[in-house]
Amino acid sequence: MDYVTFGRTGLKVSAAGLGCGGNSRLGQGQGKSEADSIAIVRKAIDLGVNLIDTAANYGTEGIVGKALKGIPRDKVVVATKATIRDGGNMCTADQVVASLDNSLRLLQTDFIDVFQLHAVPPGRYDRVMQELVPALLREKEKGKFRHLGLTETSPQDHKHETMQRVAKDPVWESVMLGFHMMHQNARQVVFPDSIANGTGTLLMFVVRNIFSQPDYLRSTVKELVEDGKLPAEMAKSDNPLGFLIHEGGASSLTDAAYRFVRHEPGVHVVLFGTGNPAHVETNIASILKPALPKADAEKLAKLFGHLEGVGLDLPDHSARR
């Protein structure tokens, strides 16, 4: 496993982080048992993963807590999240603190390493800063969590408007954002500031359905061609990203997706999620491989660097990664 310093937090974290949400939710989205999900967490840890990312909304905090039982607390970095939504309204500070307390209970821990506000849209950012952050900083002083973070709502914030503000604001020590082969704009609008401010970065949406479902990829490419956003010849191919798979290149689109983001300047942790024990090993192996060949990376930048919001589908629990 490769380990990196998580920005100015100083935490030493694995380059591969286990995500406990998304389509799989540790297999819960596929009907797996709690024991199966616990085994996924344990396998990841056995392979060197020390950052586990969950959330109140995922329904997997209790599973993570059971999986980490007996593991020395200083051997794992636990990240979780509280929603800011209460139906159509924003949660109060008391509700968010209650979520924090419940997370501590379910995770069976005295403190959380990275506590994040979950899926904050641009229009709610000012209220988050005014109403929620002061209360959370008081809880931080009590030792309930070590570092404060925030995650964007990628499918509704294609331009990273929230992240553009967060990456500049010193109150946030961690950010989670979407970045992948066909949605690369964080390179211009987020990473320069996150690097400058020493903000730890967690990547999500690295491998969604667009890279695991060939029909979805083909139909998306066809639509982009029709909109004049991609060269016409790409619509004629049954495998529009097939140029990435060759000797010396990627072994699959999933392999390419992980390798593409892992070596991007400004990236600390690449999150992967799965309910399949075999895929724990293959996903980690891809994240730890060298960068894609320069020519392939340059072609991806040339073809897709101008796109925004492609392939940011919300979890549908259909993926089998």
Mean pLDDT, residues 71-90 taken together: 95
Beta bridge partners of 145: 112
**CB contact set of 285 (below 8 Å; sequence gap of 6+):** none
Q: What value does the mean pLDDT of the chain take?
A: 95
- Cβ burial, residue 207 (10 Å; 0-12/13-18/19+): buried
**Using 50, 70 and 90 to split pLDDT, how confident is the model at 319?**
very low
Q: Which residue has the tokens 């209790």?
A: 62
Mean pLDDT, residues 252-264 taken together: 97
* Per-residue model confidence (pLDDT) at position 315: 66
**CB contact set of 65 (below 8 Å; sequence gap of 6+):** 106, 107, 108, 109
Q: Domain-by-domain residue ranges, the chain?
A: 3-212+262-295
Nearest Cα residue to 7 out of 226, 172, 155, 228: 172
**CB contact set of 299 (below 8 Å; sequence gap of 6+):** 243
Whether the predicted model's global pTM rises above the 0.85 cut: yes
* Of 58, 125, 216, 258, catalytic: 58
58 is catalytic: yes
pLDDT digits (tens, 9 = 90+) for 146-201: 999 999 999 999 999 999 999 999 999 999 999 999 999 999 999 999 999 999 99
Mean pLDDT, residues 121-129 taken together: 97
* Per-residue model confidence (pLDDT) at position 23: 84
Residue 21, Cα to own-chain centre: how many angstroms?
9
pLDDT digits (tens, 9 = 90+) for 204-256: 999 989 998 999 999 999 999 999 999 999 999 999 999 999 999 999 999 99
CATH of 3-212+262-295, one of 3.40.50.620, 3.20.20.100, 3.40.50.2000, 3.90.1150.10: 3.20.20.100
**Using 50, 70 and 90 to split pLDDT, how confident is the model at 318?**
very low
Angle between helices 253-262 and 277-288 (to 10 degrees): 50
Report the alpha-carbon distance of residue 244 to residue 297 in Å, rounded.
9
CB 170 within 8 A of CB 194: no
* Per-residue model confidence (pLDDT) at position 321: 35
Write a three-state SS string for the chain. Answer: CCEEECHHHCCEEECEEEECCCCCHHHHHHCCCHHHHHHHHHHHHHCCCCEEECCHHHCCHHHHHHHCCCCCHHHCEEEEEEECEECCEECCHHHHHHHHHHHHHHHCCCCEEEEEEECCCHHHHHHHHHHHHHHHHHHHHCCCEEEEEEECCHHHCCCCHHHHHHCCCCCCCEEEEECECCECCHHHHCHHHHHHCCCEEEEECCCCHHHHCHHHHHHHHHHHHHCCCCCHHHHHCCCCCHHHECCCCECCHHHHHHHHHHCCCCCCEEEECCCCHHHHHHHHHHHHCCCCCHHHHHHHHHHHCCCCCCCCCCCCCCCCC
10, 20, 91, 121, 168 from 29: Cα distances, Å: 34, 10, 26, 25, 35
Report the alpha-carbon distance of residue 91 to residue 94 in Å, rounded.
8
Both tokens of residue 36?
């199966």
Mean pLDDT, residues 31-59 taken together: 97
* Per-residue model confidence (pLDDT) at position 88: 87
